[in-house]
Amino acid sequence: MKALRICVFFLCSLLFFSCANFQAGLYLVFIDRYNGKEILNNEPNVRAYLERVLAAPENYRMEVYKRTGISSQLKRTKLLEHSFYVITDRNGAYHTISFYGTAIAFISQGTWAMDSDSDLNSYNMYLQDKNKWDVTKVVTDEINVEATVRNIIKKLDMHVTFYYRDHIKKRPNMNNCNTALRETIVFNKASSRISDELPIIAVKITKEE
């Protein structure tokens, strides 16, 4: 019941609260110690990291995970779940990458974040068998690192708007964390799927023009 009340409060805040300070406070609580503008300003560093991966993709592997939207939510739901990439190098060092809005709102400026507090904390707890965030690995086949990273960079350069319900009701030129992942991931096998999900959209390896 506590988790349900928190989820209701979170969703109501999207609908009814327009105070910038209030929304900023929610962002710091639920998403990251940095606000949306600071995460947006860090995008050049995200791009630089992705370009390093792209320079030697054979040295990295990628995985996809889903988790609850907030830590107090007991189980993932269709309306409140979050998808993120984990990129790991040969030495075992890893970073999370995912798409966020820059505000707690249904529609806001979109941004790609690396190692957000909520992504990194949930993944670390998952590795420690303390799965408070209901983290689940959802990709069962090998991801094509080069093609996927290239797609993420292209998305980053498009400055896509964040729409909270995009995975439920698709809007043109908008994404949320789930649809941004669907539209960037590329498998080595075109028949691969995300478990319990619709087929991946991006199944063809994209070529740099």
Whole-structure pTM value: 0.80
Residue 18 falls inside a structural domain: yes
Average pLDDT for residues 80-105, to the nearest whole number? 93
pLDDT band for position 34 (cuts 50, 70, 90): low
Residue 195 falls inside a structural domain: no
Give the pLDDT of residue 205: 35
Q: How far apart are CA 38 and CA 199, in angstroms?
A: 34
Q: How far apart are CA 15 and CA 23, in angstroms?
A: 11
Mean pLDDT of the chain: 81
Q: Which residue has the higher pLDDT, 70 or 173?
A: 173
Residue 197 clears pLDDT 80, i.e. is over it: no
How confident is the model over 170-185, as pLDDT tens digits?
Answer: 999 999 999 999 999 9
Residue 189 falls inside a structural domain: no
Give the pLDDT of residue 38: 82
Query: Order of strands across the sheet with 174-175?
Result: 136-137, 60-68, 81-89, 94-101, 107-114, 161-163, 174-175
Residue 197 falls inside a structural domain: no
User: If we measure between CA atoms, which residue out of 118, 71, 68, 126 comes closest to residue 98?
Assistant: 118
User: For the chain, what is the domain count?
Assistant: 1
Neighbours of 101 (CB within 10 A): 24
Kindly state the DSSP code that residue 173 receives in the 8-state scheme: T
User: If we measure between CA atoms, which residue out of 174, 206, 11, 32 comes closest to residue 115?
Assistant: 32
Residue 109 falls inside a structural domain: yes
Residue 199 falls inside a structural domain: no
Residue 208 falls inside a structural domain: no
pLDDT band for position 94 (cuts 50, 70, 90): very high
Per the listing, tokens 């063809």 go with 204
Domain range enclosing 8: 2-182
